[in-house]
Amino acid sequence: MSSTEDFERLALQFRRATILPQLPGSAIQLLKMLEQTDATDPTLERIITSDPALAASIIRIASSAMYGSNKVTTIRRAMLRIGERSIKSLALSLAMQSMTHSVAKSSRFDPHRFSRHSLFVGMMASALHARMETTKGNLDWASEELLAIGILHDLHFGILARIAPETYAKAVSLAIDNGLPLDCSVEIVLGKPAHELAILMFETWGLPEIFLEATRALYDHPEDERDIKSSGALIAAQNLAKADFAIESWQLASTGNLATNWPLPPQDELDATVQVVRNEAEAFLQTTLAVAI
């Protein structure tokens, strides 16, 4: 079978809701709330209440040492303690882990490293974007949107490992042996860009258009330096993730220079921000893993 035939076969699977692992309804509702300016705490509370697993996880995390020693017993108090931003991160992180935990070990997919990378990119992109918002005002996307986009930006690799473990393992071997980023090795194996599968995945799930726009911006690497685009924060965060996890033998992050059209803070401030976000992502991941058991 040729690379093109492999891609078309996978594309068909990514288009079929009966084959593609499904995001929980609560996660989809939270993502759609990103486009609503009139979303309220009671709306968020209703979404959480409708998903018993998410509700239990939020209460357990709000009662964990990460947020203090006092136990909480209601969703409302849990929301107040951990905040809307963390709730959305939690819902997406748990959804991502539920869809990737059953990936065959033979696929060479590391769910922990994948989740850590995704959380770091989402949190770092949001932090960089928030810093710029204070000086430039409104940009094309909001920091909350960057958080969600960053967490889900590489999920198509996890789904690929679950649906076609042999294809994914072949791409990983190619990446490791030749020092290539994963998106490049997948493109070599399949004959087409991997992010086209991501777009199909988001369309099948019916996610807001911003996720499709962000995927195209992230992997097409726009070079318009005349204007500051929010995608620059996402690209910078992804590349920082590669640099930050360089101590590992291999990373999921794509290669490339830090986005030149995104003004980064001074080096000492950037280093401090990277360390804070890294610690936050790791702590958050450890907590969500604990409640998922």
For residue 230, is it within any domain?
yes
28: in domain: no
CATH number for the domain that contains residue 162: 1.10.3210.10
In a domain, residue 196? The reply is yes
Under DSSP, the state recorded for 24 is P
Token pair 């430039």: residue = 136
Radius of gyration of the chain (CA): 19
Residue 37 lies in a domain: no
Domain around 7: 3-17+104-292
Domain membership of residue 84 (yes or no) is no
**Residue 280 is which amino acid?**
E
Domain-located, residue 82: no
- Residue 264 token pair: 């980064």
Asked if 128 and 236 count as a contact pair (C-beta separation under 8 A), the reply is yes
- Write out the chain's pLDDT in tens, 293 residues: 566 678 898 999 898 877 777 777 777 777 777 666 566 678 888 888 888 877 887 887 787 766 666 788 888 888 888 777 777 777 777 777 777 776 766 567 888 788 888 888 888 888 888 877 666 555 677 777 788 888 888 889 988 988 888 899 999 899 888 988 888 899 999 999 989 999 999 898 888 888 888 888 887 755 554 445 677 788 888 877 776 654 444 343 433 344 445 677 787 888 888 888 888 887 777 766 655 54
pTM for the whole structure: 0.79
Number of folded domains that form the chain: 1
- The closest alpha carbon to 79, from 54, 56, 62, belongs to 62
**Is residue 80, in this structure, part of any structural domain at all?**
no
What distance in Å separates the CA atoms of residue 69 and residue 200, rounded to the nearest whole number? 43
- Residue 45: Cβ-neighbour burial (10 angstroms; 0-12, 13-18, 19+): middle
Distance set, CA 32 to CA 47, 146, 209 (Å): 11, 14, 10
Please check whether residue 95 lies inside any domain of the structure: no
Q: Cα–Cα distances in Å, from 258 out to 34, 221, 223?
A: 27, 11, 12
CB 99 within 8 A of CB 155: yes
CA distances (Å), origin 133, targets 50, 62, 79, 136, 260: 34, 29, 25, 5, 18
